Structure 1
């Protein structure tokens, strides 16, 4: 079969997949399945072991896979940030912050110990493996995340915030692993790692992103509310702010993932600082501008509704982008499965990670927080690994990781991600349905006081 026929057949398969998923989405939501599981099966089917429509070499195509997963994570981080409307002063923020710091560091330390003393990996590779597998995934965890911005449930809020934060807070440990493998400059005594990779990378990324999100959001609202300008094209806000926050943060040697998440948090909060139209100022849109923007008088939001209208449009567009990114990356993961050689160590490593390391790290990380035991158990179980882990692995490969070591880490990482897609995909519907029923029975979540 020539390349033209392969491309045509591939387009047909993808088209059928998208249509079938649209038609069956409600049905799938009631089953112990996830969309990612079906994408994974299709990826295997169109990979080398099936139709051969998608063939990837994880080392040769590392640059492509790095960019693909990077874009997917950026879109998902922005989506996660938009969902978190809770004021930053609320004590519930301790849950995701402690999960993304204390629990993540403990997870990295435990994986490092196993990698170094049990699997005989070099220390740098063991640290790198821990950093790759410690972050939870904001892309594949949508079923257990905040369902709407006003959701105050500690379980969903904690998992959403953790997924948004720890994809950035894991980056210093990726750099530490690369440094121990002589692939990154840590500085004498590690000074550069502490000051640039840890302190500035995290603080700078959060600060730059939040500042840009606030400035862009307020500027757009100011033009819309006071001058009836910058109307329409809300979709461009998401794309523009993601690109701007990420680009500026990386240019300033800080972490773009954290910047994008923080930018979304700031954009979500512009509703609290929006400025009403001054008395006597005309609120009627210019007919020419209205025609250019494609809006109508009936559809035009009022001054009070402008922030909420903009956020709804941005959220809807970003959620659609996230679904497309999920399809592309999980299909690639399915195709990669047939070109990777797995060793027996994955058979014991995965259960230890899911059933021992994650629960213990969550238990310690949530000390001092007002979380119910049932919520703590579900947070411990739903430490979903996915696209972020693939990105970090590809990042390490493109930065000079030795092929033999890269293949071993690739086998471990892919095994964990696939196991997570299957185990969490099968369990998410029944577990969350039971949780919601018990929550309703308690009188709409009579949670501990804040």
Structure 2
């Protein structure tokens, strides 16, 4: 599988397949054959699922932050702010409504589904993200999807905590709601931003300004892994959102010396580790599918899942971009290419491990089907659509 991760992208360039589709297919084949007795069902391995997906997300967030060439700003990141402030809340509410009325879920489980389906996944979205640092592959669509994925994996967390609170019967408690607003929303976000900036600034100074012999000349890309774990652990100790801190730290490190070659080395290391984790998770996901993850899925569940993927996110995305200056084609792709994946698995596992939601069979089935459909639909269409958009831009400019 490691060899496949190294060589497959080259062989798949001319085929309507992605490495993600291939890994899921291999997982399905191997675990269906009976060669392995192990059953990688997330419903059985709930804690392991939470921790493994948590690791994959934070590694991916470091890579996302390092490869953004554009400096952070209110206007330059306007697409990002629109997607976060409008598209994400609309998606959460719409999915929660579908969960209650369409799937018959209790309100807490519907809220957890909405929160889990809101983030654009930073792990599986490599094909629609910007290229490595200074590569120039940063059009508005790729930038918007990369920066959105970097931030909304953290900003969906307060809604996951709200769903957990609902499952514990805390929505009727004024004290519990006050705690949610002040701590889960206010403090945790501020701690994530603050600690992330401090860690990023410390690493930036050490790497590029600390001495005449910059540490960037003495170290290697593993420093990116160190920055990831230190930012995450320090923020968790401060009871903040570690996901947010890792992305902020990465963006801060990049801002210290934007054109330094060492950014590419750190990004490449993060990218390699991320691809290995993706391989492992997708093979295990294929194994879970082979062992009955979707057994409890009904036709209604499948229809709601497709509506989440093909109606809710695109409509919410387009509404968030009303009045933006981008051509409609770019807005449409920004809205459509909201890939769901590893982050959604993490939030479902986290919510179920910390709340009391009852039987989760159908919830896992719906989430698993959404992720499978996203891997296939977005995997097959993303590259051709982005290439067609690039040709349209060239023709328009010429």
- What is the TM-score normalised by the length of structure 1? 0.82
Contact 1:110 1:357 in 2 (8 A): yes
Residue 169 of structure 2 corresponds to residue 214 of structure 1? no
**Which among 342, 349, 370 is matched to residue 416 of structure 1?**
370
- Residue aligned with 2:257, SS: helix
Aligned equivalent of 1:155 = 141
**Which among 374, 387, 392 is matched to residue 433 of structure 1?**
387
**Which among 334, 351, 364 is matched to residue 396 of structure 1?**
351
> Of the two structures, which has the highest relative contact order with CA contacts closer than 8 Å and spacing of 6 or more?
2
- Alpha-carbon distance in structure 2 between the residues aligned to 1:229 and 1:377: 43
Q: Which moved more, 1:411-420 or 1:182-191?
A: 182-191
Aligned equivalent of 2:110 = 126
Aligned equivalent of 1:263 = 249
Please give the root-mean-square deviation of Cα atoms over the aligned residues, in Å.
Answer: 2.0
1:390-435 deviations in Å (ceiling 9; x for gaps): 111111222244451x222111110100010011111122212211
Contact 1:79 1:319 in 2 (8 A): yes
Residue 91 of structure 2 corresponds to residue 91 of structure 1? no
Contact 1:31 1:429 in 2 (8 A): no
Contact 2:199 2:231 in 1 (8 A): yes
- Alpha-carbon distance in structure 1 between the residues aligned to 2:42 and 2:16: 31
Q: Which runs of 5+ in 2 are unaligned?
A: none
Q: How does 1:228-377 map to 2 (within 5 A)?
A: 231-271=217-257, 308-337=260-289, 338-340=291-293, 341=295, 342-377=297-332
Question: What is the aligned length?
Answer: 392
Q: Which moved more, 1:82-91 or 1:258-267?
A: 82-91
Q: Which runs of 5+ in 1 are unaligned?
A: 1-16, 273-306, 445-450
Aligned equivalent of 1:31 = 15
Residue 182 of structure 2 corresponds to residue 195 of structure 1? yes
Give the greater-gyration-radius structure (CA): 1
- Alpha-carbon distance in structure 1 between the residues aligned to 2:122 and 2:350: 18
- Alpha-carbon distance in structure 1 between the residues aligned to 2:390 and 2:67: 19
Residue 333 of structure 2 corresponds to residue 378 of structure 1? yes
Contact 1:97 1:161 in 2 (8 A): no
- Alpha-carbon distance in structure 2 between the residues aligned to 1:316 and 1:183: 46
The alpha-carbon distance between structure 1 residues 73 and 195, as it changes in their structure 2 partners (threshold 3 A), is same
The alpha-carbon distance between structure 1 residues 28 and 184, as it changes in their structure 2 partners (threshold 3 A), is farther
- Alpha-carbon distance in structure 1 between the residues aligned to 2:217 and 2:380: 43
Offset at residue 56 of structure 1 (A): 1.9
- Alpha-carbon distance in structure 2 between the residues aligned to 1:175 and 1:49: 39
Contact 1:101 1:169 in 2 (8 A): no
Contact 1:48 1:55 in 2 (8 A): no
Contact 2:116 2:348 in 1 (8 A): yes
The alpha-carbon distance between structure 1 residues 81 and 187, as it changes in their structure 2 partners (threshold 3 A), is farther
- Alpha-carbon distance in structure 1 between the residues aligned to 2:311 and 2:299: 19
The alpha-carbon distance between structure 1 residues 228 and 80, as it changes in their structure 2 partners (threshold 3 A), is closer
Offset at residue 226 of structure 1 (A): 1.4
- Alpha-carbon distance in structure 2 between the residues aligned to 1:234 and 1:208: 24
The alpha-carbon distance between structure 1 residues 403 and 191, as it changes in their structure 2 partners (threshold 3 A), is closer
Offset at residue 109 of structure 1 (A): 0.3
- Alpha-carbon distance in structure 2 between the residues aligned to 1:388 and 1:21: 21
Q: Which moved more, 1:358-367 or 1:320-329?
A: 358-367
- Alpha-carbon distance in structure 2 between the residues aligned to 1:347 and 1:96: 30
- Alpha-carbon distance in structure 2 between the residues aligned to 1:168 and 1:197: 11
Aligned equivalent of 1:144 = 128
1:193-240 deviations in Å (ceiling 9; x for gaps): 1111112222321222122101211123234x5145574332231111
- Alpha-carbon distance in structure 2 between the residues aligned to 1:93 and 1:230: 28
- Alpha-carbon distance in structure 1 between the residues aligned to 2:86 and 2:298: 31
Offset at residue 122 of structure 1 (A): 1.2
- Residue aligned with 2:397, SS: coil
